[in-house]
């Protein structure tokens, strides 16, 4: 539907008290009328009452129209953006999670988390309709005053800064290895272009910052689509490699010739630990070049005969349906946070063309379902390749098996591209939150838009370069912030803002149960992380 554009200065006097989110401009009465017509034409009774509370629907709709301009982003681009926000480095650890839960338990947990995430988005969208705002902080303020406002701001900021840091850590540790492999260098020669600290700065300034300067999130739909195609390539290679790697895994003497059947791969002695006692979950690339022992407990250390295979046991290469060990509890938070996209839901919703709650819910359904399928295939075939020997980072496991492989090198590049192109999506909600909090009611400013993005990237780069243990700190903070965004805040805002449903209605009871589950998840995840820290510090002191 074509909208007439007129000078918004005519309405400055009457709308001076309204606030705008960064990147959104005010509208005139003619635009408001057009929006009203949009929802009336949809024929959806719920859309016609969009953002009303049953008292003064026209007033609520007008407030909403002042807050955001009519969306221009298509359904497909919105799906790409939301899917890219969901898809992160966590996919690299799902095979490890399956190895520590078993196939059936993993599938049940993954399906359960996907359904809970969809329900969470449903609560959030319904709260936005009743609350008359598409800004998370404003919903928090309407529900609980300034504590709710700052709870939303802190949760979004900490969760997304933690996610940005994890992506930049991957760039820091993985990109030098990719360049070294391309240049056929046996080890890092110390050149500046093999220094991860320099490379992460170059990537941030040359790629991430320019993409972060786009005015609207919808423009990133193209890069999000490309990022998702890279992850589809990653999943495809994981499936393909299942047919190439035998079980038990082969070993080669490092001094022997290449003795693989097709003379393509260079296999070398490796140690792939089962990580059932002393290892926490770590998705960062961790290159320990000193690991050159055999797989498992190799009784015979004679590697002089060339190709060797680990001792075959009855169940070593058999998939397990249910697994319970010390690491099973760590797999549950991995799955629980696999679908975190809630900070991006409302910004994407606000830019959706011909927006309605039902349309945005459909976008969430498509995105979460697509990511569910990708997660399932990546986890299943990664697990069926290495079984109980899979490491907590799948690509790292492959690089331990293959000294050099062109296809795996392309996969590493694809993962690098994917996580790099995800950073601007994650940065956008933080900047919107800061703008809403610090500059309410201000018109869009390109200089402010740039400065906030620059400061956020500079801050994240500083953490990644100078504070290598920050990933552990953000693991703790992320566990609480992600739980707040998935479970606690949507349920709490819904219970407080949606007044027309009685408290004993199925909807309110469901939201209350969801809230309680969120608190259990948060306490449990934080307890696991703290316990792991204590165990690691104790073991390090003993050594």
Spell out the domains of the chain, with CATH numbers in brackets.
Answer: 18-542 (1.20.1740.10)
Query: How many beta carbons lie within 10 A of that of residue 103, not counting itself?
Result: 18
CB 149 within 8 A of CB 433: no
Per-residue model confidence as pLDDT tens digits over 239-248: 999 888 887 7
CA distance 333 to 157: 20
CA distance 343 to 169: 21
Q: CB within 8 A of 89, min separation 6: which ones?
A: 166, 167, 170, 283, 419
The pTM of the full predicted model, rounded to 2 decimals, is 0.74
CB 40 within 8 A of CB 462: no
pLDDT value of position 121: 93
Q: CB within 8 A of 8, min separation 6: which ones?
A: 25, 26, 27, 28
Per-residue model confidence as pLDDT tens digits over 415-426: 999 999 999 999
pLDDT value of position 424: 93
Helices vs strands, H then E, count in the chain:
20, 2
Burial class (CB in 10 A: 0-12, 13-18, 19+), 407: middle
pLDDT value of position 72: 85
- Residues in the chain with pLDDT < 70? 1-69, 188, 250-315, 400, 403, 469-476, 478, 540, 542-543
CA distances from 280 to 351, 505, 528 (A): 39, 42, 9
pLDDT value of position 304: 34
Residue 303: what are its φ and ψ, rounded to 5°?
A: -100, 10
CB 39 within 8 A of CB 47: yes
pLDDT value of position 324: 82
User: Which segments of 109-169 are extended strands (E)?
Assistant: none
Residue 73: what are its φ and ψ, rounded to 5°?
A: -85, 135
């Amino acid at each position: 539907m074509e909208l007439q554009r007129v000078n918004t200065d005519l309405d400055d006097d009457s709308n001076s008290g309204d606030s705008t989110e960064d990147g959104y401009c005010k509208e005139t009465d003619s635009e408001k009328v057009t929006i009203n017509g949009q929802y009336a034409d949809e024929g959806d009774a719920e859309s016609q009452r969009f953002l009303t509370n049953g008292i003064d629907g026209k007033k609520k709709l007008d407030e909403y129209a002042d807050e955001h301009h009519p969306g221009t982003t298509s359904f497909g681009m919105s799906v790409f953006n939301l899917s890219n926000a969901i898809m992160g480095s966590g996919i690299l650890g799902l095979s490890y999670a399956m190895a520590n839960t078993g196939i059936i338990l993993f599938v049940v947990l993954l399906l359960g988390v996907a359904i809970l995430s969809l329900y969470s988005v449903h609560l959030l969208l319904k709260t936005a309709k009743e609350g008359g705002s598409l800004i998370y902080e404003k919903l928090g303020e309407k529900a609980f005053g300034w504590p709710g406002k700052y709870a939303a701001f802190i949760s979004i900021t900490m969760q997304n800064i933690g996610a940005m840091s994890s992506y930049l850590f991957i760039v820091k540790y993985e990109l030098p290895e990719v360049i070294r492999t391309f240049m056929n260098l046996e080890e890092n020669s110390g050149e500046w272009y093999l220094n991860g600290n320099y490379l992460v700065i170059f990537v941030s300034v040359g790629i991430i910052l320019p993409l972060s300067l786009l005015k609207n999130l919808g423009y990133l739909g193209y890069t999000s689509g490309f990022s998702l195609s890279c992850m589809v390539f990653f999943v495809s290679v994981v499936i393909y490699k299942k047919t190439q790697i035998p079980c038990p895994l082969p070993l080669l003497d490092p001094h022997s010739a290449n003795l693989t059947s097709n003379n393509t791969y260079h296999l070398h002695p490796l140690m792939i630990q089962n990580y059932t006692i002393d290892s926490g979950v770590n998705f960062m690339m961790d290159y320990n070049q000193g690991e050159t022992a055999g797989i498992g407990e190799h009784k015979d250390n004679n590697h002089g005969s060339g190709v060797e295979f680990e001792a075959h046991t009855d169940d070593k290469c058999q998939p397990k349906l249910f697994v319970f060990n010390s690491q099973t509890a760590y797999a549950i938070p991995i799955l629980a946070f696999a679908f975190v996209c809630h900070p991006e839901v409302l910004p994407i919703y606000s830019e959706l063309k011909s927006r309605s709650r039902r349309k945005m819910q459909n976008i969430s359904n498509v995105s979460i379902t697509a990511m569910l399928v990708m997660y399932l295939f990546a986890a299943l075939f990664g697990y069926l390749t290495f079984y109980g020997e899979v490491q907590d980072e799948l690509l790292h496991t492959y690089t331990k098996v293959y000294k050099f492989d062109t296809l795996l090198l392309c996969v590493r590049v694809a993962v690098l591209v994917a996580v790099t192109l995800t950073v601007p999506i994650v940065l956008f909600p933080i900047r919107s939150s800061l703008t809403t909090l610090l500059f309410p009611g201000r018109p869009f400013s390109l200089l402010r838009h740039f400065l906030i993005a620059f400061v956020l990237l500079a801050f994240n780069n500083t953490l990644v370069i100078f504070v290598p243990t920050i990933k552990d700190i953000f693991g703790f903070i992320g566990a609480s912030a992600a739980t707040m965004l998935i479970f606690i805040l949507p349920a709490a805002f819904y219970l407080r803002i949606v007044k027309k449903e009685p408290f004993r209605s199925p909807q309110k009871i469901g939201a209350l149960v969801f809230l309680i589950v969120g608190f259990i998840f948060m306490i449990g995840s934080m307890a696991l992380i703290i316990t792991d820290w204590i165990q690691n510090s104790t073991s390090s002191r003993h050594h």
